[in-house]
Chain A
Amino acid sequence: MAFNILIVDDSETMRAVIKRTVGMTGIGVGELLEAGNGKEALEVLADAWIDVVLSDINMPEMGGLELLKTMQEDDVLRNIPVIFISTESSNTRMAEAKELGVAAYVKKPFLPETIKEIMMDVLNKAYASRMDEISAEGGTDQSADEMDF
């Protein structure tokens, strides 16, 4: 199974670092798309199917918290898990992100193993939740067991 991933960061180098790290995780990657801020991310999300968003918080024009808030207000985008990858690691900021519905939080600087662990956990939960929804709609009787990527 391959996942489409959107990386949102105003630094081109950091997007490259995250891309390389995601490549090292062994998680099946379909399309790996990029955006330089929250506003650009919403444009990508309007055009492409994305399975998970990896976003910075502190960005010009539209930051990660505003992006998450906007996604939560949309019936479709609210189902896409957002993982924050940021230097902002204060308790206040993390509580704010959690309240807005962030799926997980990774502090920069990060180790590839941390990204792998968190992405697998988030994607497993998202997959299980989606399967539950489909079962509830009567679309299939497929088990919502967690997958190993």
Chain B
Amino acid sequence: MDQSIKDKIGESAAEVFSTMYFISVQLLPDLPPQDKWDLDTTYISARIHFTGPVSAVICFFFPGSLARNIAESFLGIEAADVSEKQAVDTMQEAANMVIGTFLGKADPDGACKLGIPTAQYISGFSPAELDSEAESFAFMSEFGYLWMTYSD
């Protein structure tokens, strides 16, 4: 993957999380070593694609605690009361905004079409099992690492 694509995705994620959710998210230059993973008990995978002159499938893996925190702030309910549906919906929209923002930077004329995102809860997530055919990235946040794969 072109370094500029990686940089633009990093900028887009930072912009979306800080502007909309007041959470700092930073793309790491390299994947963190396994002994630093400190995995959450639950994760939400959010998948989104775009098609056009350039096509790609992007999959985010968000820690459940991040989803619950955002849903708690905006839905006005306790984190423990956030339903699976609400947490999934929250991260699905976050993925939509990150890649939509990325396309706004990388494809301002709109030659690419953004698909509708899908998301689901996953248990037993391990970055070691990320799609080996795709490029993998990690972001640092106060809720732990966020993971992402990009396949074109």
Contacts and interface: CB of A to CB of B under 8 A. Distances in A.
Interface of A: 11-14, 16-17, 20, 58-60, 86-93, 107-111
B76 to A, nearest CB: 8
Nearest to A96: B110
Contact of A90 (B19, B71, B89, B109): B109
Of the candidates B70, B86, B93, B112, the one having the most CB atoms from chain A within 10 angstroms of its own CB is B93
Nearest to A11: B93
Nearest to B100: A87
**Binding site secondary structure of chain B:** helix
B29 interface: no
25 contacts: A11-B90, A11-B93, A13-B71, A16-B74, A16-B76, A17-B20, A17-B74, A58-B96, A88-B100, A89-B100, A89-B108, A90-B103, A90-B107, A90-B110, A90-B111, A90-B112, A91-B108, A92-B109, A92-B111, A93-B110, A108-B20, A108-B101, A109-B19, A109-B97, A110-B19
Interface in B76-98: 76, 86, 89-90, 92-93, 96-97
B1 to A, nearest CB: 21
Interface string B47-81: 00000000000000000000000110011100000
A18 B138 CA distance: 29
B5 interface: no
A122 B85 CA distance: 34
A86 B15 CA distance: 15
Contact of B93 (A13, A60, A93): A13
Nearest to B76: A16
Contacts of B103: 87, 89-90
